[in-house]
Amino acid sequence: MSQTKTGSAATTEAPAKEPRGARRKRETRQRLMKAALELMAARGMDGVAINEITEAADVGFGSFYNHFDSKEAIHAELMREVLNSFGETMDHISNNLEDPAEILSTAVRYAVQRSADNPVWGRFLIQTALSADILSGLGQYMLRDIQRGIASGRFKLKDPLMAFTSVGGTVIGALTAQMEFAPADSTAKKVAQQLGLNLENIPERTASTVLQILGLTNEQADEVAHRPLPPVELRDSLF
Amino acid sequence: MSQTKTGSAATTEAPAKEPRGARRKRETRQRLMKAALELMAARGMDGVAINEITEAADVGFGSFYNHFDSKEAIHAELMREVLNSFGETMDHISNNLEDPAEILSTAVRYAVQRSADNPVWGRFLIQTALSADILSGLGQYMLRDIQRGIASGRFKLKDPLMAFTSVGGTVIGALTAQMEFAPADSTAKKVAQQLGLNLENIPERTASTVLQILGLTNEQADEVAHRPLPPVELRDSLF
DNA sequence: ATTATCTATAGATCTATAGATAATGC
DNA sequence: ATTATCTATAGATCTATAGATAATGC
């Protein structure tokens, strides 16, 4: 248990009075996190050696253990941070909107769009969603939003469990699809285009699909899914 | 390239004339496959050492290389075999039913139910669905069934891509959920029950959900999803 | 003096192969 | 004689730690 955890792990700007050594340590930690994020997004936790992380971070090998106890530990930290950053955005969205359908729609559009813009982030978000128990990751936010919609009567569900499963699966499927299609030269994109599939506006179409699963009519869902997106403030140092 | 591939990898009964040595070899291979299947279902390909596979199969370590070139090779073989066995069942279902909705419903009910009965099989099916490109796994069968339904007019889709994504995500989500809930003492099960969630008949409810995504009304979907299941013949040596 | 980093390395783990042993089939 | 298995091991890879070096802060 030799490592020190900085109070608020994600903040970039230090409290001004932060001594130089502490800043240096924080920066090293940050470099390790960033390097691990990219490597593990691409190849998964098991596919990456600590050696590779320190190399990519341009940090001495032994320094890794000044910051993390193990590979599992840094991976867990990364998941925690991706989720926290996502959660904060979600809270921000929730606090500025009334309609539960619009809240969920905004969250979905945000997640899908951001995964296309930043596949490293997206791949990691998917890892958190699939890892261990569902409700420790993405699922908890979805569940909260869905319950809110049920309570308010906006969502009318005959089968809450299946609705939850289906919404979750749809979102993860869309994140995956979006990242397959995002690169301009991807084979997935070519195949899809040959099949005549529409690859525009996937965030909005995902949101609409999700809302229909939750009981809105086609028209209602499309309307909500195309409302103007409120600006979302991002403050992640990692991405 | 020292290994020999038996013609039809999955068959149990040999052509009677098979010499003793060949049978012995086939049985060793089979034991390796079975052991790897269980270990890799639980811990993933990377989490298992070849050593552990031969130990579990009660086979000398070096013998592994009489049958497979690498860990990747045996994993690929396992995916291929799980998928083939699934595909044959799907073909059997397709050939004996007319209604595209019923064909897809039967396939979904079969996959979900069998995952509950045999979590090792289920976990592997999920691995095939998530691995590499979507359409090499489960997806190809779904895509075929959905296209058939569109062609016949049974499914009316405004957005084929999202329908496909959503159906795929829903099925994988249901497979996962079903396996979480299947063990009598699982925590997931307790949590779900405390939330008042209905855990009965998940195969049928998944099928119904999928059909609704594909444009059937609630009532139509429920009716199809509860038709009597035609008997399905299984002939997998591995499970 | 303290703290964070670095280099170097011991030990564990794992893969792939070589060569010996045992069983089969002619 | 051939074939499949086995045991034993060399070599590669990776983790975790020890001890040296450099920078900071008093």
Question: Does one domain contain both A212 and A127?
Answer: yes
Is residue A104 in a domain? yes
pLDDT reported for residue A10: 41
Alpha helices in chain A (DSSP H): 20-43, 50-57, 64-67, 71-96, 100-117, 119-130, 138-152, 160-181, 187-194, 202-213, 218-225
DSSP letters spanning B121-169: HHHHHHHHHHSSSGGGTHHHHHHHHHHHHHHHTSS--S-HHHHHHHHHH
pLDDT reported for residue B9: 39
- B206 closest CB neighbour out of A130, A162, A209: A162
Question: Does one domain contain both B64 and B87?
Answer: no
Give the other-Cβ count within 10 Å of B55's Cβ. Answer: 13
Could you read off the pLDDT of B51-96 as tens digits, one per residue? 999 999 999 999 999 999 999 999 999 999 998 888 889 889 989 9
- Indicate which CATH number applies to the domain containing B50: 1.10.10.60
Question: Does one domain contain both B84 and B199?
Answer: yes
Q: Count how many Cα atoms sit within 13 Å of the Cα of residue A92 in the half-sphere of its side chain.
A: 14
Question: Does one domain contain both B117 and B42?
Answer: no
Handedness of CA B190, B191, B196, B201 (dihedral sign): negative
pLDDT reported for residue B231: 82
Question: Does one domain contain both A26 and A121?
Answer: no
Determine contact, residues B142/B156, Cβ cutoff 8 Å. Answer: no
- Indicate which CATH number applies to the domain containing B206: 1.10.357.10
Among A10, A41, A68, give the residue marking a domain's end.
A68
Give strand D nucleotides closer than 7 A to any protein Cβ. 3-9, 13-19, 23-26
Tell me: pLDDT of B20 over 80. no
Q: Which of A126, A170, A222 to mutate to test the interface with B (most CBs of B within 10 A)?
A: A170
- A46 closest CB neighbour out of B46, B176, B191: B46
Question: Does one domain contain both A136 and A218?
Answer: yes
Is residue A116 in a domain? yes
pLDDT by 10s per residue, chain A, length 239: 333 333 333 444 444 567 776 788 899 999 999 999 999 999 999 999 999 999 999 999 999 999 999 999 999 999 999 988 888 898 899 999 999 999 999 999 999 999 999 999 999 999 888 876 656 778 888 989 999 999 999 999 999 999 999 999 999 999 998 888 888 888 888 888 888 899 999 999 999 999 999 999 999 999 999 999 988 776 666 77
Q: Which two tokens stand for residue B173?
A: 């989500």
Determine contact, residues A103/A97, Cβ cutoff 8 Å. Answer: yes
Is residue B7 in a domain? no
Question: Does one domain contain both B43 and B85?
Answer: no
Among A36, A68, A100, give the residue marking a domain's end.
A68
Kindly report the nearest CA distance between residue B50 and chain A, in angstroms: 16
Shortest CA distance from A208: residue in chain B: B162
User: Which residue did the predictor score with more confidence, B130 or A145?
Assistant: A145
User: CA–C1' span, B61 to D8, in Å?
Assistant: 11
Question: Does one domain contain both A34 and A130?
Answer: no
Question: Does one domain contain both B152 and B54?
Answer: no
Nucleotide nearest residue B32, measured CA to C1': D5
Residues of B in contact with A208 (CB under 8 A): 162
Question: Does one domain contain both B209 and B111?
Answer: yes
Q: Which two tokens stand for residue A156?
A: 């009318």
Shortest CA distance from B168: residue in chain A: A173
Report the domain count for chain B: 2
- B169 closest CB neighbour out of A160, A170, A197: A170
pLDDT reported for residue B134: 59
Give the other-Cβ count within 10 Å of B39's Cβ. Answer: 20
Determine contact, residues B178/B116, Cβ cutoff 8 Å. Answer: yes
Kindly report the nearest CA distance between residue A91 and chain B, in angstroms: 23
Could you read off the pLDDT of B137-183 as tens digits, one per residue? 788 889 899 999 999 999 999 999 999 999 999 999 999 988 888 88
Amino acid at A170: T
pLDDT reported for residue B133: 64
Kindly report the nearest CA distance between residue B14 and chain A, in angstroms: 39
Is residue B199 in a domain? yes
Is residue B132 in a domain? yes
Tell me: pLDDT of B14 over 90. no
pTM here?
A: 0.87
A3 touches strand D (CB under 7 A): no
Q: Which of B105, B162, B190, B214 to mutate to test the interface with A (most CBs of A within 10 A)?
A: B162
What is the span of the domain harbouring residue B49? 21-68
B28 touches strand D (CB under 7 A): yes
Question: Does one domain contain both A184 and A135?
Answer: yes
In 3D, which of B156, B162, B170 has the Cα closest to residue B220?
A: B156
Average pLDDT over residues B190-217: 94
Is residue A6 in a domain? no
Whether residue A171 and residue B169 make contact (CB cut-off 8 A), yes or no, is yes
pLDDT tier at B17, thresholds 50, 70, 90: low
Is residue B38 in a domain? yes
pLDDT reported for residue B215: 95
Question: Does one domain contain both A161 and A134?
Answer: yes
Is residue B180 in a domain? yes
Please count the residue pairs, one from chain A and one from chain B, whose beta carbons lie less than 8 angstroms apart.
103
Among A44, A68, A92, give the residue marking a domain's end.
A68
